[in-house]
Structure 1
Amino acid sequence: MKNTQTPNFKPENIVHNISQLTKDALIKSSQASKGNDWESVMGILDESEHFLGREMSVNSHLNAVIFSESFNEQYEKTLPIISNYYSEIGANKPLYMAIKGLNNVNLNNQQKHIVKETIRGFELSGVGLEGKASERYKAIQEQLSILSNQFSKNVLQATNSWKKIVSLDDLKGYGKDELLKIKDSEKYVLNLQIPVYIDLMTYAENRSLREEVYLAYISRASDVGITPKKFDNQTVMNEILELRFEMAKLLGLSNYAEYSVQSKMVESPQMVIDFLENLIKLSLPQAKNELNELEAFAGHPLKPWDLMFYSEKLKQKIFDFKSSDLKPFFPEKSVFNGLFSTIESLYGINLEEINEESYHPDVRVIKIESKDGPIGRIYLDVYARENKRGGAWMSDFQGLYNDALPVAFVVCNLNSPNEGKPALFDFDEIVTIFHEFGHALHHLLTKVRFPCAAGISGVPWDGVELPSQYMENFCYERGVIDLISGHWETHEKLPDNLFKKLTDSKNFQSGLQMLRQCEFSLWDINTHISLDNTYKILDKVREKTSLIPVVNENRFLNSFSHIFSGGYAAGYFSYKWAEVLAADAYEHVRNNGGIGSKTANEFRECILEVGGSLDFMQQYIKFRGSRPKIDGLLKASGIQLK
């Protein structure tokens, strides 16, 4: 049987291990620089990347999901070692020339594409720099890795630092399920973990309490608000932005946004700006109407801490149901059993939970197989907890390589079981689960055996979100709802009347949602074009996108981990760009047989299986028969054009 390689979740001597692996890898890179065919060059590099990548991945994962000061102290010591290693590789001119020499040997199409992208990667890693410029580039890379971890740590610790004991009277509007999440013995304790925060902002009738919690949340890791000032990320952010700008200049580019788009499908930062401003123009009239409707319903001008509360109330009035009406029909077991069944039907594979010890009792291990044998494994970590980074993500432990099968981590921060009652999921949380499994399938279903291009490796960043957003669409199919629903007490499937209300309300306030995402994306690309104060850039963007006044305490950017510690710098637009592809792809599959069809399998073959080994847009065109059109996104998002 092929090896899925259980991650080592009790890492010891991680500084020694990383030091040794990078030393070994540098020796092998020296060997590769003397090679003259695929195996003697890329084959050697792939082997090093596989073993070093595994060690780095599990260390990074543990630091995010079971954070402790003692482990983080050791983890931080590995960051300069890793940064210096990649700087050494990126500046290795003999290795660069050896890879360029592969253009003169007989390669298949995948290998040719990998060589082309690897050469570009070297050029973006400073291989052309000499002397002081080369040394400065290395120093920048090392400092960026340290600052990125510091940013993430500050957000986590600031989030954990705030708690508030409240009375039952403060929680009018809460249901039993929401109360259970925050009950601690005889007390009710609020915190800034996402499930608790969203409940408070959605259901609490106490407006002053909503304001207090909103201000605590929106000012995390800053110089204002309630969380300790020692976690202020402003200096960290400024230094990250300055270093990125300097790095781009060293490489002969105008700014970091230009650097970022080199490895994406878009051709220039201006193309990104035009795309986003077009979406803003198309969605703004509808967004204004939605806000006017909401304010008329509320009966007074709205503050930011009112939006979720009155939106939920208005949604209840228009569609005659509330979000919490759905939750009893979506207990955790039904959701995951149904998700697995959907994936099995979609791609003809089998998912099964197995007993295997992991890093935390909450974690489940999922084995994936096909009729031809094992495919890989997922470590599923669903519940929110204190020393766990917020948000949801997929990361990989290892890709497909020789006898090693892909292993992925899928992480969420969702409701957990409480007092004998199973975890009951909001529908938005179910959409998140489908999204992250879309990423995992991209990683697991690869047929590429080169680590540098297997799964999501080598995929342009504005294509990475396609498989995840594509998967979200299936949540709204009646057949899938029947699989993932089952009332936690009666086992009844979601009734037709609630299903209709759910689908009818899918695009409720879609104009406002579109504006919000475009605001983040437009700020991101603009702040990486200029060295102006990043909050002033945000203010300028908000002149186009913000429909209600922003409070003085708003320091959202200080906890915007996607940009400052998550790899989306000058690339946050990828979510909207990939939504265009995902809506277009889903409509094509739905119109040609849907789940289990030949067309659905073509998505697997053209997109998921090839990873980053071929041109991504050309593979999309091969699957779809044409380039994607924005019409599908507007239709799927419910943006009404006049």
Structure 2
Amino acid sequence: MQPNFKPKNIVKTIEIFTQNGLKIVNQASKGNDWESVIRPLDKMEFELGHYTSVNSHLNAVMFNEEFNAEYEKTLPLITNFYSEISTNKALYQAYKNLKNTDLNEQQKHIVQDAIEGFELSGVGLKGESSARFKVIKEKLSLLSNQFSKNSLKATNEWKKLLNKDDLEGYGDDQLEKIKTDGGFEINLQMPIYMDVMTYADDRSLREEVYKAYVSRASEVGITSVEFDNKAIMDEILALRLEMAQILGFDNYAQLSIESKMVESTEQVIDFLQDLVRVSRPQAQQELKELQAFAGIELMPWDLSYYSEKLKEKKFGFKKSDLTPYFPEQKVLSGLFLTIEKLYNINIKEVEEYSYHADVRVLDISNKEGLVGRIYLDMYARKDKRGGAWMADYQPLMEGNKPVAFVVCNLNSPAGGKPALFEFDEIVTIFHEFGHALHHILTRVQYPSAAGIAGVPWDGVELPSQYMEFFCYEHEVIELISGHWQSGEVLPNELYEKLINAKNFQSAMGMLRQCEFSLWDIHTHSSNKDTYQVLKQVREQTALMPSIKQSRFLNTFGHIFSGGYAAGYFSYKWAEVLAADAYYYVRDNGGMDSKSSDSFMHNILEIGGSLEFMQQYVKFRGKKPSIEALLKSNGIDN
């Protein structure tokens, strides 16, 4: 279970492994049953994953030029290896032959899923089309890594040294985060950036930092032009379009939808536009209220600042009133207790070597013994990619327990205080643990469908978003809160204010997410410049104009270096499932109930081994409706 966090000669290792792997593939293609076809491939994938997942993980969380140079050399090797597998006609035929053998229900689903995967990966291509398809895949892997690298470097390049007088509006906790020997240094790391946007009274400072942030990795940014991602984005989009057309689709969105629960791009667009239609009137009222409160013509760098002030006035508290009650250790212990109640498991921190001193190693067990392990890396660092995510290191297979990495970019300890988390950060932790539990709690012994493997992309966010709902339960608040000095749990008065403010400006947030999703699906449905597409989408979704320097798409890693291309709608689609699931469990016993057990057994444990919506209906008794999503966001339909 202990990953090798000090890989050596990674290029040579991958070269040797992929060469041997192709021999295994060719042997498996001659098999005639599950044991001779899929079992050796599972073992091969299991072992290769040990190298590729660690290399990818370290490149994201401990970035340095020397390692990245070696890592980039492995990308074509890995991409070409998988291209060889996915276009191996003999192996494809072997899978098709398996359909006529004696398989259980899970095996039948896995085989059919694999056959469809072969077909979407170009197994039917010949000659120049096949060769070009492989070249495209290799180029995309390199471009995605370059996009991520440029985003990180552009983020790290901007810093500003300030005096305390420049930071009126900041509390002691915010000042401690940025205190240096020479004054106070701000940067574009998310926790620091959000503090400027939320607390800095100096409007010109907020404007400067906002413009630096939204123009990162672009031709108009204040960082080096060498980090401009626009040409990379254009090439990625062009290659995705070409890939889709080679396979016979009109555009990449159609190709993406083939492996999801939704039936068509039109269904996605209708779903999102329906949310826009329902949300926009309420969002307009929310912005009108904020505008009246601010008394000035609002600009983007004013929204977080005045929203925080308005929330304080309406609900009688501010974000900084909450943070002292949520020190890191209390939040984590409460999170673990919540998970233990939900899923009847135990989480224990163990002392074991990892790749960074900040990383916590967590062993997950149940009454049967050890279930799996999580490596938790929470704090923002200069050499760490922004955002939050879960990555799998090892699936469940033949006695080997699942292992996952959970990564966030949250506040770290400062000024003699423990890390004090804002509530949004707590939601993020719960979210990522939902993904990790989906991976760890699987009962599926087939790696290709264990945990999140094989789960349709528009279903993979269900367990994570489901976990978010529990952050707001009073029982959970009592577990995760404890003032860092007195140990006092969050007072009921503050809790009630938190709940009352839960859906503050939720319609504005809904519009923003729909904007991202509509831009994504339309960008991958056309051959237009992506910023022109954004301009057209914003005619439906935007309540205020964008500034000319905004190039936020240039660092949109979910789309250009992650797995969400033509699938960003999955967040909203899965939120419908999550809200529906949560209300069902809450109304039928809550945590530690049969309904909660049913969620674990039918969703988490099954992973991608059976049809996802079928499993949801088995848990819930019926398909979900959009009403649950609107209810959870406090949007009047």
TM range (shorter): over 0.9
1:422 to 396, 418, 434: 418
Alignment-derived partner of residue 293 in structure 2: 297
State the SS of the aligned residue for 1:452. helix
AA aligned to 1:251 is L
Alignment-derived partner of residue 369 in structure 1: 365
1:549 to 537, 545, 550: 545
Deviations 1:85-143 (A, max 9, x none): 01111110000000000010010000000000000000001000000000000000000
Shift of 1:418: 1.1
Structure 1 residues 262-411: aligned runs within 5 Å: 262-411=258-407
- Aligned-CA RMSD value: 0.5
Alignment-derived partner of residue 614 in structure 2: 618
**Counterpart Cα distance in 2 of 1:77 and 1:186:** 41
**Counterpart Cα distance in 1 of 2:604 and 2:129:** 39
Matched, 1:14 2:18: no
Alignment-derived partner of residue 178 in structure 2: 182
Matched, 1:493 2:506: no
AA aligned to 1:277 is Q
Alignment-derived partner of residue 213 in structure 2: 217
Unaligned 5+ segments in structure 1 are none
Deviations 1:144-182 (A, max 9, x none): 000000000000000000000111111000000000011
Deviations 1:565-608 (A, max 9, x none): 01100000000000000000000000000000010010000000
Deviations 1:158-214 (A, max 9, x none): 000000011111100000000001111241001000000000000000000000000
Shift of 1:419: 2.4
State the SS of the aligned residue for 2:447. coil
Matched, 1:206 2:202: yes
Aligned residues: 637
AA aligned to 1:20 is I
Deviations 1:211-230 (A, max 9, x none): 00000000000000211111
Alignment-derived partner of residue 47 in structure 1: 43
Alignment-derived partner of residue 135 in structure 1: 131
Single out whichever of 462-471 and 411-420 deviates more from structure 2: 411-420
**Counterpart Cα distance in 2 of 1:207 and 1:571:** 36
Deviations 1:518-546 (A, max 9, x none): 00000000000001010000000000001
**Counterpart Cα distance in 2 of 1:287 and 1:25:** 54
AA aligned to 2:77 is I
Unaligned 5+ segments in structure 2 are none
Alignment-derived partner of residue 451 in structure 2: 455
Shift of 1:403: 1.7
Shift of 1:402: 0.7
**Counterpart Cα distance in 2 of 1:198 and 1:51:** 41
Matched, 1:119 2:108: no
1:509 to 505, 512, 515: 505
AA aligned to 1:497 is E
**Counterpart Cα distance in 2 of 1:255 and 1:44:** 35
State the SS of the aligned residue for 2:458. helix
State the SS of the aligned residue for 2:407. strand
Matched, 1:108 2:104: yes
**Counterpart Cα distance in 2 of 1:388 and 1:32:** 39
Alignment-derived partner of residue 474 in structure 1: 470
2:164 to 160, 165, 168: 168
**Counterpart Cα distance in 2 of 1:403 and 1:608:** 19
AA aligned to 2:589 is G
Which portions of structure 1, spanning 4 or more consecutive aligned residues, are displaced by more than 2 angstroms?
none
**Counterpart Cα distance in 1 of 2:583 and 2:13:** 48
State the SS of the aligned residue for 2:221. coil
State the SS of the aligned residue for 1:115. helix
**Counterpart Cα distance in 2 of 1:407 and 1:400:** 8
**Counterpart Cα distance in 2 of 1:587 and 1:54:** 38
State the SS of the aligned residue for 2:348. strand
Alignment-derived partner of residue 70 in structure 1: 66
AA aligned to 1:9 is F
AA aligned to 2:210 is Y
Single out whichever of 287-296 and 184-193 deviates more from structure 2: 184-193
Alignment-derived partner of residue 637 in structure 1: 633
State the SS of the aligned residue for 2:397. coil
AA aligned to 1:640 is D
**Counterpart Cα distance in 2 of 1:529 and 1:15:** 37
State the SS of the aligned residue for 1:408. strand
State the SS of the aligned residue for 2:376. strand
**Counterpart Cα distance in 1 of 2:181 and 2:611:** 56
Deviations 1:262-314 (A, max 9, x none): 11000011110000000000000000000000000000111000000000000
**Counterpart Cα distance in 1 of 2:64 and 2:356:** 14
Alignment-derived partner of residue 529 in structure 1: 525
Shift of 1:22: 1.1
